[in-house]
């Protein structure tokens, strides 16, 4: 197969390939599609397709790649077999491209061909503005949906304005060590303004280090605790375990408390940390009936609110629900 044909195969939309197999996303945004992994049985979606870069990642496994890699995994075939099968799937597109070659043609996320080439570059998130002031709708989302204590959380958050293909968006931003931002909005969007990295916090405090999978879990921890007495580290993804281990080793950290999700990926990350020689206290046992620390925190707050509603003579002010675990 010619090199240009192989390039076209890699451009063939992964979402279209999955749709041909009857696999549809749980959630779809202009930038990505989120699936329950087609590689195994699961109830919480952990398989993401970046429709701008046409790449996939399975967060539970910490693995990903191109459409060719996915075909090899899904169909249990070799590299050459995957290329042959995908070549048959995309044969019409390849034939059209060979009949009317153009260096500027490229597949968009929905499978159509777009011009000019510069539009490909505009598919990435471009940071427009960073503000210390979160707009009201994002504050309401944190308080009402995530039960986050705004007074404690706001010093760690930014309002991020970014652009994708000429359209402007706004999201909650959480800065990482390399100057990138983890993003959340008040709907379903979850993403990153590159580069992606870990986020150390309270570095002057003693160990054990409290290690969190995502920043919403860290904000939940802030909301639940009266005072933070330990160093904290937010991985911003279980795929950053190796980077977290490197950071901890550089600072001679030996003891950590981990607040990861109650799923296979979380348990694998805990095992990696144990194998790396750290004294690990797995705090997920305290919220084993919940997906993650934030879900546990929300449940506790809702329970407290119900108790207050049943006692009308008491103050309407919702008491802070503190974390009873160490």
Chain segment 257-288, per-residue pLDDT in tens: 999 999 999 999 999 999 999 999 999 999 99
Tell me which of 3.40.47.10, 3.90.580.10, 3.30.420.480, 3.40.50.800 is the CATH number of domain 3-121: 3.90.580.10
Q: Any bridge partners for residue 39, and if so which?
A: none
The confidence score (pLDDT) of residue 90 equals: 56
pLDDT-wise least confident of 226-230, 262-266, 317-321: 317-321
Of the candidates 111, 70, 110, 72, which has an alpha carbon nearest to the alpha carbon of residue 90? 111
Q: How far apart are CA 313 and CA 90, in angstroms?
A: 69
Helices 241-250, 264-275: inter-axial angle, 10-degree rounding: 30
Is 102's pLDDT higher than 60?
no
Cis before residue 317, ω within 30 degrees of 0? no
Question: Half-sphere exposure of 169 toward its Cβ, with a 13 Å CA cutoff?
Answer: 24
Choices 3.30.70, 3.40.1360, 1.10.287, 3.30.450: CATH for 198-326: 3.40.1360
* Separation of alpha carbons 147 and 67, rounded Å: 39
Please tell me the pTM assigned to this model: 0.61
Query: Token pair of 103, please?
Result: 């260096």
pLDDT in tens, 163-197: 888 889 999 999 998 888 999 998 778 888 888 88
In the chain, ranges of CATH 3.40.1360 domains = 198-326
Write 194-199 long-range contacts (CB < 8 A, 24+). 194/124, 194/125, 196/236, 196/237, 196/240, 197/236, 197/240, 197/243, 198/233, 198/234, 198/235, 198/236, 198/240, 198/243, 198/244, 198/247, 199/174, 199/175, 199/233, 199/234, 199/236
């Amino acid at each position: 197969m010619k090199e240009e044909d192989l390039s076209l195969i890699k451009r063939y939309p992964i979402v279209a390939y999955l749709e041909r197999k009857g696999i549809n996303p749980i959630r779809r945004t202009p930038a990505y599609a989120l699936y329950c992994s087609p590689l195994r049985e699961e109830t919480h979606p952990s398989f993401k397709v970046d429709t701008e870069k046409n790449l996939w990642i399975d967060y539970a496994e910490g693995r990903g790649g191109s459409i060719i890699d996915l075909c090899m995994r899904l169909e249990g075939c070799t590299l050459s077999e995957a290329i042959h099968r995908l070549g048959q799937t995309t044969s019409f597109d390849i034939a059209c491209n060979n009949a009317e070659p153009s260096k500027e043609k490229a597949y968009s996320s929905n499978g159509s061909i777009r011009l000019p080439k510069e539009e490909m570059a505009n598919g990435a998130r471009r940071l427009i503005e960073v503000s210390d002031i979160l707009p009201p709708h994002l504050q309401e989302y944190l308080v009402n949906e995530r039960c986050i204590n705004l007074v404690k959380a706001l010093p760690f958050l930014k309002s991020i304005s970014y652009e994708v293909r000429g359209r402007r968006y706004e999201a909650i931003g959480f800065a990482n060590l390399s100057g990138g931002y983890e993003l959340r909005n008040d709907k379903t969007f979850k993403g990153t303004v590159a580069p992606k990295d870990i986020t150390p916090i309270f570095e002057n405090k003693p160990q054990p280090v409290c290690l969190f999978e995502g920043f919403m879990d860290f904000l939940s921890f802030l909301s639940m605790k009266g005072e933070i007495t330990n160093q904290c580290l937010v991985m911003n993804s279980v795929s950053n375990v190796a980077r977290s281990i490197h950071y901890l080793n550089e600072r001679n950290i030996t003891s950590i408390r981990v607040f990861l999700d109650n799923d296979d990926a979380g348990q694998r990350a805990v095992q990696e940390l144990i194998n790396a020689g750290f004294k690990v206290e797995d705090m997920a046992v305290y919220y084993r009936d919940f997906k993650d620390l934030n879900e546990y925190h929300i449940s506790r707050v809702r329970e407290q609110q119900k108790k207050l509603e049943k006692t009308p003579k008491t103050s309407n002010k919702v008491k802070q629900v503190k974390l009873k675990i160490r």
